[in-house]
Chains A and B, each alone.
Chain A
Amino acid sequence: MSASPLSNAPAEGLDSARFAAHLSQRTTLPSWWLDAKKAAWNQFSALPLPSRTDETWRFSDLKGLDLTGFKLPEDAPQPHPKHAAFPQTAELVFSNREAITRSTMPADLAARGVIFAPLEEALREQGDLVRSYFQKHPANLGSEKFVALNTALTATGAFLYVPADVEIALPFVVQHTLTGQNLAAFPHTLVVLGPRAKATLVEFFVSGGPASERQLVAGVNDLHAAEGAQLTYVGAQHWSRETLAFQVNSIAAERDARVLSLNLHLGGRQARHESHSRLLGPGAHSEMLALTVADGDREFDQRTLQTHVAPNTTSNLLYKNALLETAKTIFSGLIIVEPDAQKTDAYQKNRNLMLSDDAEAHSLPGLEIQANDVKCSHGSTSARIDAEQEFYLQARGIAPAAARRLLVTAFFEEVLNKLENEDLHAALTALIATRFQA
Chain B
Amino acid sequence: MPSLEIRDLFVALAATPDKPIVKGLNLTIRTGEVHAIMGPNGTGKSTLSKAIAGHPDYVITSGDVILDGKSILEMEPDERARAGLFLAFQYPSEIPGVSIANFLRAAVQARLAEGEELDATAYYKRLYSKMDMLKIDRKFTSRSVNEGFSGGEKKRCEILQMAMLEPTFALMDETDSGLDIDALRIVAEGVEAMRGDKLGVLLITHYQRLLDYIVPDFVHVMYDGRIVKSGDKTLALELEAKGYDWVKQELAATTA
Q: Do A and B bind each other?
A: yes
Residues on A lying within 8 angstroms of B by beta carbon are 386-389, 391-400, 402-403, 406-407, 409-414
Contact count A vs B, C-beta below 8 Å: 78
Which of B55, B56, B97, B110 touches A399 (beta carbons < 8 Å)?
Answer: B110
| A395→B172 CA distance, assembly (Å) | 13
Q: Given A386-B93, A410-B98, A391–B55 Cβ distance below 8 Å? A: yes
A392 B95 Cβ-Cβ under 8 A:
yes
- Cβ contact within 8 Å between B54 and A395: yes
Contact residues in A for B95 (Cβ distance below 8 Å): 389, 392-393, 406-407, 410
Residues of A within 8 A of B110 (CB): 396-399, 402
**With A and B bound together, what is the CA distance between A402 and B103 in angstroms?**
11
Contact of A397 with B81 in the complex, beta carbons under 8 Å: yes
**Would you call A402 and B106 a contact (CB within 8 A)?**
yes
A394→B107 contact, CB < 8 A: no
Docked-complex contact B82 and A397, CB < 8 angstroms = yes
Cα of A433 to Cα of B144 in the assembled complex, Å: 18
- By the criterion CB–CB under 8 Å, are B92 and A392 in contact? yes
Residue B97 contacts which of A391, A395, A413 (CB distance < 8 angstroms)?
A413
Question: How many whole Å from B112's CB to the nearest CB in chain A?
Answer: 11
Smallest Cβ distance from A300 to chain B, in angstroms? 21
Q: Chain A residue with minimal CB distance to B146?
A: A392
| Contact B81 A394, beta carbon cutoff 8 Å | yes
**Shortest Cβ distance from A402 into B: residue:** B106
A398 to B106, CA, bound (A): 7
Q: What is the interface residue range for chain B against chain A? A: 20 to 34
The digit string for B86-103, where 1 denotes a CB below 8 A from any CB of A, is: 110100110111100011
B238 within 8 A of partner (CB) = no
A40 to chain B, nearest CB (A): 43
**CA of A386 to CA of B98, assembled, Å:** 14
List the A side residues contacting B89 at CB < 8 Å: 392, 395
A406: B residues at CB distance < 8 A: 95, 98, 102-103, 106
With both chains docked as a complex, state the minimum distance between the C-beta of A429 and any C-beta of chain B, in angstroms. 10
Cross-chain contact A396 with B96 (CB below 8 angstroms)? no
Residue pairs across A and B with Cβ atoms less than 8 A apart, 6 shown, are A388-B93, A389-B93, A394-B77, A395-B54, A395-B87, A398-B106
- For the complex formed, measure the closest distance between the CB of B15 and the CB atoms of chain A, giving whole angstroms: 13
Quick check: is B53 within 8 A (CB to CB) of the other chain? yes
Q: How far is the CA of A391 from the CA of B77 in the complex (A)?
A: 7
Annotate B54-69 by CB proximity to A: 1 below 8 A, 0 otherwise.
1110000000000000
Q: Of A387, A400, A413, which is within 8 A of B78 by CB?
A: A400
Measured between alpha carbons, how far is A219 from B102 in the docked complex, in Å? 36
Q: Is the CB of A414 within 8 A of B97?
A: yes
Q: Is B168 interfacial (CB-CB < 8 Å)?
A: no
Contact of B111 among A389, A397, A410 (CB under 8 A): A397
B161 on the A face (CB < 8 A): yes
**A414 vs B54: C-alpha distance in the bound complex, in angstroms?**
30
Complex CA gap A48/B96 in Å reads 46
Would A403 and B78 count as touching, CB distance under 8 A?
yes
In whole Å, how far is A316's beta carbon from the nearest beta carbon of chain B? 19
How far, in whole Å, are A402 and B118 apart by their CA atoms in the complex?
A: 15
Given A391-B55, A397-B82, answer yes or no on A410-B96 (Cβ-Cβ < 8 Å): yes
CB distance from A133 to the nearest CB of B (A): 37
Chain A residues, CB < 8 A from B82: 397
CA distance A411 to B78 in the complex (A): 22
Taking a contact as CB atoms under 8 Å apart, the answer to whether A398 and B97 are in contact is no
**Bound Cα distance A26, B55 (Å):** 66
B98 touching A409 by the CB < 8 A rule?
Answer: yes
Judge if B76 is at the interface, Cβ distance under 8 Å: yes
User: Once the chains bind, are B53 and A395 in contact (CB under 8 Å)?
Assistant: yes
Q: Are B161 and A396 in contact (CB under 8 A)?
A: yes
Q: Are A396 and B54 in contact (CB under 8 A)?
A: no
A397 lies within 8 A of B165 (CB): yes
Assuming A398-B78, A407-B98, A413-B98, what are 10 further A-B pairs, CB within 8 angstroms? Answer: A386-B93, A391-B77, A394-B78, A396-B103, A396-B107, A410-B95, A410-B96, A410-B98, A410-B144, A414-B96
Shortest A68–chain B CB gap in Å is 43
Let me know if B53 and A412 touch, CB within 8 A.
no
CA distance A49 to B81 in the complex (A): 55
Residues in A with CB closer than 8 Å to B76 are 394, 400
Min CB distance B95 to A, Å, is: 5
Partner of B56, one of A391, A393, A396, A412: A391
- CA of A388 to CA of B87 in the docked complex: distance in angstroms? 13
A410 contacts which chain B residues (CB < 8 A)?
A: 95-98, 144
In angstroms, Cα B96 to Cα A409, docked, is 10
For window 120-150 of B, CB contacts with A under 8 Å fall at: 144
